[in-house]
Amino acid sequence: MAKSSVLGYPRIGENREWKKALEAFWAGKLEESELHNQLQQIRLNHLRKQKDKGIDFIPVNDFSYYDQVLDTAAMFGIIPQRFNYNGGAVPLSVYYGVARGTKDAAASEMTKWFNTNYHYIVPELYGAEPVLTENKPLTAYREAKEKLGIEGKPVILGPISFLKLSKGYGRSEIDTWLSILVKLYVQVLQELEAEGVQWVQIDEPVLVTKLSNDDLARVKSVYGKIAEAVPQLNILLQTYFESVEQFKDIVNLPVQGIGLDFVHGLEGNLSAIREFGFPQDKVLGAGVIDGRGIWKAPLGKKLGLVKELQNLVSADKLLIQTSCSLLHVPVTTKPETKLQPVLKNALAFADEKLDEVVLLTEALNNGEAAVAEALEANVADLEALEQSESRNRLDVQSAVARIQSQEPARTSPFATRNAAQQEKWQLPLFPTTTIGSFPQSTEVRKARQSWRKGEWNNEQYSGFIQDQIDQWIGYQEEIGIDVLVHGEFERTDMVEFFGEKLEGFAFTQNGWVQSYGSRCVKPPVIYGDVAFKEAMTVEETVYAQSKTKRPVKGMLTGPITIMNWSFVRDDIKREQIAYQLAYALRQEVEALENSGIGMIQVDEPAVREGLPLKEEEQKPYLDWAVKAFRMTTCTVQDTTQIHTHMCYCEFHDMIDSIEEMDADVISIETSRSHGELIHSFEENTYKHGIGLGVYDIHSPRVPNVEEMTVMIDRALKVLDPKLFWINPDCGLKTRGQEETIASLRNMVDATKIAREKFTVNV
């Protein structure tokens, strides 16, 4: 009999109870004991729900107080020295200090979890002396068994992936570190084995990336040692997000089960299993329900797939499971009472995906007749959306096809444009600016809520927003910022705001997912063809420009970021969605320029996270991502300065594509990994305007002038001073007013020092 399995469940709670508890604790409004109590109740509710729905293999230790990678580091005492950790179980103050920073110590780097919208805290191995501080998987297993009678499946990030995701070691140290880590993992697993644990899920997502021969040898060595150490423990070696590399070697590792992604890695994994077969002594974890998308699975097709897989493994060695953790999708569709039925009926969030896993398992074990009614309803729901008018906009499709056939390009090369822009704007050396958003206070959020509820009319709300703009234009001028922004007080979110004003989007009431830490986002749903309706940002930007003689940037979110930060339809290629978005945003860019706005920032912080994990797919993606950006921005005059903003990426492997975007100025979020990015510029030249974020906005601390001066000095060693801008590393929406003003004052002071140094040196 096939069994059902889940790789992980969202930790935030149906109403973001998890987020609220964390933030209350950080604000000093919740005692630590009460935080533990509240989080335990959330955790147990999640386990109980999976048990009640009939999941056979329920994950434990997938819950976290912040991030699962940070959890692994803390479990092994891998805490940066600047946090004064003295051994033993890591205190919450230290744990959260690593994640968020403290008054005296900068937070650890935060970066994207593979090609998802989730962020993890990067472990720092410099000088660490790891020991097992607490067996967290064992604690989680005992809790589930004692409280709920659940024979849980402990989940742990594997040693190969953990090391690959860490920083602070050289290539020559890889084997030494693996040796250290394997001993700790063995200790964890031996304690689980002694407890009577039946299955452990060890996540090794790096196995879907390209592995060198040396890396493959290390994988074999590591799992060989683990197999020797825990011969009675069943290990499910779990991969996800793509098909595995070196399929034959991986499936023959000395483990009892292999988990494969048959959604995002369908083509590669299915081809490999058809060609090479699958070991008859192993369990196959078949990830057939999409753990990242929100659409109902076409259950008839999925059933055909699992039937084929069942023919390749023995009947009792097949797990029907999600393709990855459900961390990446909202909790449940139940609260979504305002969505059109044709759309809601086609959605499946985490809870609905549990039902799909159970239904497929039942169909496989008991025959299709046992679930015939559900299968019929599934077909009807998906067909209704597919045939809807929203997915068949011929006007949009023909217009996009027309401009897609053209090669988008600015009229003049950058050098010509730069000279024209300098003449127009007369900016000083090292112009200062910000990324776009300013603090959204409780007052701002309440005003927006009052307007949305109808308690305020449009005139009242518009007046309030104008007051906020007046205030922050004044602050920026007083501080001495050169290029201003209106502050984005009217925007809930940099993607949601635009989605609400474009056709083809829908918005959930409670479709929250975790982005990083307690930061939750509610991604829009792109369910139909995207179309421009009317100007979206002109009113506020033009108003702000009327209040100052300094330039004010128009602020837009770019097509790739809107796409990557939304839940997108799965019936057409992502490339086509990007072009539809680009065409709509081009019309907004033109509206801003026609209204006298001569600097326009089209943010693309999420280009990197959409990069395919397979090397052979990366260049095609970057090519059409660049084309979409240029399609958005190519029609403006030479004197109109196009800015963009990107989050930190491994710059060396994208610099050509970033230059091809042909933005006049790019700002890059770098403060948590500034040294690595500077090193990239030592090896690569960049010929356009550029601003490297000189301080970390994700931390509540106010950086001093000296810190920023050091960053500026390092950057100027490798970048052209005539093209260098100075800015924070990201938007300031989540920060407080006092700290924002203090930090920007320090930034401007650091800029003045840099200008004086450069003038003297010249």
Per residue in 398-436, pLDDT tens?
Answer: 999 999 998 999 999 999 999 999 999 999 999 999 998
Confidence (pLDDT) at 730: 84
Of 332, 365, 386, which residue constitutes the final position of a domain?
386
Pair of tokens at residue 152: 């849980």
- 609 annotated as a binding-site residue: yes
Helix residue ranges per DSSP H, 565-654: 574-594, 615-633
Residue 682: the pLDDT is 67
pLDDT tens digit sequence for 250-307: 999 999 999 999 999 999 999 999 999 999 999 999 999 999 999 999 999 999 999 9
pLDDT > 70 fraction of the chain, expressed in percent and rounded: 97
Tokens of 277: 């077969």
State both tokens at 723.
Answer: 């093209």
> What pLDDT was estimated at residue 683?
67
Half-sphere exposure in the Cβ direction for 296 (13 Å, CA):
26
Whether residues 280 and 226 fall in one domain: yes
Q: With bands split at pLDDT 50, 70 and 90, how would you rate the model's confidence at 118? A: very high
Residues 467 and 567 placed together within one structural domain of the fold: yes
- Report yes or no on 339 lying in a domain: yes
Cα 99 to Cα 747: distance, rounded to the nearest angstrom:
24
| Mean pLDDT lowest among 92-106, 257-271, 372-386, 652-666 | 652-666
Do 472 and 333 share a structural domain?
no
What integer pLDDT is reported at residue 699 of this predicted model?
72
Question: How does pLDDT run across 501-534, given as a tens digit for each residue?
Answer: 999 999 999 999 999 999 999 999 999 999 999 9
Partnered with residue 437 across adjacent β-strands are 487
Q: End-to-end distance of the chain based on CA atoms, in angstroms? A: 77
- DSSP secondary structure string for all residues of 352-406: HHHHHHHHHHHHHHH-GGGGHHHHHHHHHHHHHHHTSGGG--HHHHHHHHHHHTS
488 is in an annotated binding site: yes
Rounded Cα distance, 607 and 666, in Å: 13
pLDDT score of 715: 85
Hey, what are 172's tokens?
Answer: 């020559």
SS3 169: coil
Banded model confidence at residue 696, pLDDT cuts 50, 70, 90: confident
**Could you tell me if 437 and 365 lie in one domain?**
no
* Residue 694: predicted pLDDT: 82
Quick check: is 603 in a domain?
yes
Residue 162, domain CATH = 3.20.20.210
Specify the pLDDT at position 358. 98
Q: Report the percent of the chain where pLDDT is more than 90.
A: 85
Residue pair 726/747 in contact (Cβ under 8 Å)? The answer is yes
479 within some domain: yes
Query: 3-class DSSP state for residue 73?
Result: helix
Q: How many helices (H) and strands (E) does the chain have?
A: 27, 21
Share the mean pLDDT of the chain. Answer: 94
The per-residue pLDDT for 493 is 81
Same domain, 93 and 241: yes
Same structural domain for residues 175 and 267? yes
For residue 96, pLDDT over 80 is answered with yes
Question: Quick one: which H or E segment has residue 397?
Answer: helix 394-404
Residue-level pLDDT at 761: 62
**Inside any domain, residue 41:** no
pLDDT at 223: 98
Active site residues: 698
Please tell me whether residues 370 and 435 are part of one structural domain: no
Residues ≥6 apart with Cβ < 8 Å to 418: 664, 689, 723
**Does residue 667 lie in a domain region?**
yes
Q: Is residue 561 part of a domain?
A: yes
Domain end call among 386, 404, 431: 386
Residues 378 and 442 in one domain: no
Helix H or strand E encompassing 759: helix 737-761
Does one domain contain both 613 and 475? yes
Assess whether 337 and 461 both reside in one domain: no
Instruction: Tell whether 149 is in a known binding site.
Output: no
Say which residues have a Cβ less than 8 Å from residue 292's Cβ, sequence separation at least 6.
116, 263, 264, 323, 324, 328, 329
Range of the domain at 578: 418-501+536-761
pLDDT band of residue 673 (cuts 50, 70, 90) is low
- pLDDT of 494: 86
Same domain, 316 and 427: no
Calculate mean pLDDT across residues 168-183: 96
Instruction: Look at residue 668 in the predicted model and tell me its pLDDT.
Output: 84
144 plus 285 within the same structural domain: yes
Chain centre to alpha carbon of residue 639: 34
Q: What is the mean pLDDT of residues 636-651?
A: 85
Amino acid letter, 360: L
Domain membership of residue 694 (yes or no) is yes
520 is in an annotated binding site: yes
Structurally, the chain folds into a number of domains equal to 2
* Predicted pLDDT of residue 233: 98
* Confidence band for 731, pLDDT divided at 50, 70 and 90: confident
Is 17 a known ligand-binding residue?
yes
218 among annotated binding-site residues: no
Determine the Cα–Cα distance for residues 489 and 540; give it in Å rounded to an integer: 9
Final residue in a domain of this structure, among 341, 368, 386: 386
Secondary structure element (H or E) that encloses residue 163, with its range: helix 159-164
Is 204 among the domain residues?
yes
pLDDT of 352 > 60? The answer is: yes
